Amino acid sequence: MPRTAAPLLTSPVPRASDSDRRRTSASVVLRSVLEHGPVARSTIARLTGLSPASVTDYCSRFAELGLIRESAELRRSKGVGRPHLPVDLDDSRFVVGGVHVAVPYTTVALLDLRGQVVARSEVKHAGTEPARVLGRAADALAALLAGSPRSRALGVGFATGGWVDRDSGTVVEHPLLGWREVQVRQVLGARTGLPVHVDGHARALVNAERLFGRARGSRSVLHLFAGNVVDSAFATHDEVHHGPRSQAGSIAHLPVPGGTEPCACGRVGCLQVELSERTLCRLAREAGVVDGVNPMHVVSAAAAGDPVAGRLLRERSRRVGRAVGLLQDVLNPERVVVTEVGAMHRADCLAALREEVGADRAATVSPISFTDSVLAVAGGSVALDVLYRDPLAASPEAI
Ligand SMILES: [Zn+2]
């Protein structure tokens, strides 16, 4: 009996448009060069499932733009179709700017295409009025760029805590800074003359982990950021979940059983106030361990043998572990990344945190990959994520 196609198979199905497919292909080729470079184009074709001709075409375009370079031998021979010769990222020409606004200060940085911090500075707030903070950040960024005259900036990434809407480029609400509906993309764009991309710092750091960190290749990643602001982000299949108006990940006011700290929202024992660095530093001040508001001073005191400092840090990491356990129950991620000062700097704190999540899940939890540069990486990785998602639209030709 002759086989005929079933009608269902011939009916139209939703398809990605050609431009979507091109964007995806360009993205996977550049990501392959990032992850495996120096790498032969024939290997990229094998890894990505794209045709060798298509890989060669994308590589030629990236090379013309200055995003990748071919081997010196290939350049001399002026050939473009020799697939066995390796290509690699060209990290010498372009940078992205990064701006991260924390409660006490702004971190400004330049990152190369590998996500490495090539220059950075910190700007203490002189008041948190948005135009002033952003103006000072733009000035600091201009100073860093002036000090790197051979690097051209492809764009600027901005990250902060609280509720940040990527699509409108707005900080919708950051109560600790007193910011509400701040049009960051517009303000920084006008000040820098560069494309500006804006996102929440928990999501920004998930993207940094996906692209440059130890979580690369994981099918699902949860990130818990516990600084003065406490928030989270979750990515599956290479996509960070934003939800309507980018509100996903707001966990500041989740109730912590047994919590005792009064929160500005009027309740007691909210996650953010229980876990914040402010609370850690206040407890450390009350115990006579430190006299300021810098959590790294508590870490230094513990390293110098102060048993109270060590205990305070372990206790906080334990609480962070409890919060991680709750989020794991909801989301069941393959990997968990934690930005928390104790777990990042002390093995006993990481052990305490892992103990709370349970032996079966402990190995999935790691501190963030960028221990000494986490805030410098956060801002820039917003812009680098945009570049790697759509290299031909975000590349130098387009700005
Ligand atoms: Zn609260």
Taking CA atoms, 303 is separated from 32, 220, 227, in Å, by: 40, 34, 20
Q: What is the mean pLDDT of the chain?
A: 90
* Rounded average pLDDT over 64-75: 76
CA 10/CA 148 separation, integer angstroms = 57
Compute, in angstroms, the gap from residue 256 CA to the centroid of ligand 1: 10
Token digits of residue 384: 């680098």
Compute, in angstroms, the gap from residue 274 CA to the centroid of ligand 1: 9
Compute, in angstroms, the gap from residue 268 CA to the centroid of ligand 1: 7
Compute, in angstroms, the gap from residue 371 CA to the centroid of ligand 1: 28
Inform me whether the pLDDT recorded for 32 exceeds 60. yes
Per residue in 271-296, pLDDT (tens digit) is 999 999 999 999 999 999 999 999 99
Compute, in angstroms, the gap from residue 31 CA to the centroid of ligand 1: 40
Compute, in angstroms, the gap from residue 162 CA to the centroid of ligand 1: 13
Q: For position 10, what pLDDT does the model report?
A: 42
Token digits of residue 132: 């002033």
Q: Are 221 and 337 within 8 A, CB to CB?
A: yes
Task: Work out the percent of the chain whose per-residue pLDDT is above 70.
Answer: 91
Compute, in angstroms, the gap from residue 201 CA to the centroid of ligand 1: 20
CA 295/CA 107 separation, integer angstroms = 16
Inform me whether the pLDDT recorded for 62 exceeds 90. yes
Q: For position 80, what pLDDT does the model report?
A: 52
Compute, in angstroms, the gap from residue 269 CA to the centroid of ligand 1: 7
Q: Are 335 and 220 within 8 A, CB to CB?
A: yes
CA 105/CA 147 separation, integer angstroms = 21
The separation between the first and the last C-alpha atoms of the chain, rounded to the nearest angstrom, is 60
* More confident call, 248 vs 370: 370
Give pTM, 2 decimals. 0.88
Q: For the chain, percent helix, then strand, then coil, each to nearest 5?
A: 45, 20, 30
Compute, in angstroms, the gap from residue 295 CA to the centroid of ligand 1: 22
Is the alpha carbon torsion for 63, 377, 149, 152 positive or negative? positive
CA 174/CA 176 separation, integer angstroms = 6
Strand partners, 197: 157
Span of 6-15, 294-303, 389-398 with lowest mean pLDDT:
6-15
Inform me whether the pLDDT recorded for 13 exceeds 90. no
Q: Are 38 and 71 within 8 A, CB to CB?
A: yes
Compute, in angstroms, the gap from residue 47 CA to the centroid of ligand 1: 47
Compute, in angstroms, the gap from residue 223 CA to the centroid of ligand 1: 20
Token digits of residue 166: 């990527």
CA 282/CA 289 separation, integer angstroms = 10
CA 119/CA 141 separation, integer angstroms = 10
Taking Cα atoms as reference points, which of 233, 237, 235, 236 lies closest to residue 247? 233
Task: Work out the percent of the chain whose per-residue pLDDT is above 90.
Answer: 78
Burial class of residue 6 (count of CB atoms within 10 Å of its CB; 0-12, 13-18, 19+) = exposed
Compute, in angstroms, the gap from residue 138 CA to the centroid of ligand 1: 33
Strands of 170-174's sheet, edge to edge?
163-165, 170-174, 179-182
Compute, in angstroms, the gap from residue 351 CA to the centroid of ligand 1: 28
Compute, in angstroms, the gap from residue 218 CA to the centroid of ligand 1: 32
pLDDT level of residue 258 (50, 70, 90 thresholds) = confident
Compute, in angstroms, the gap from residue 182 CA to the centroid of ligand 1: 22
Inform me whether the pLDDT recorded for 79 exceeds 70. no
Token digits of residue 291: 């006299």
* Rounded average pLDDT over 27-43: 94
| DSSP code of residue 268 | B
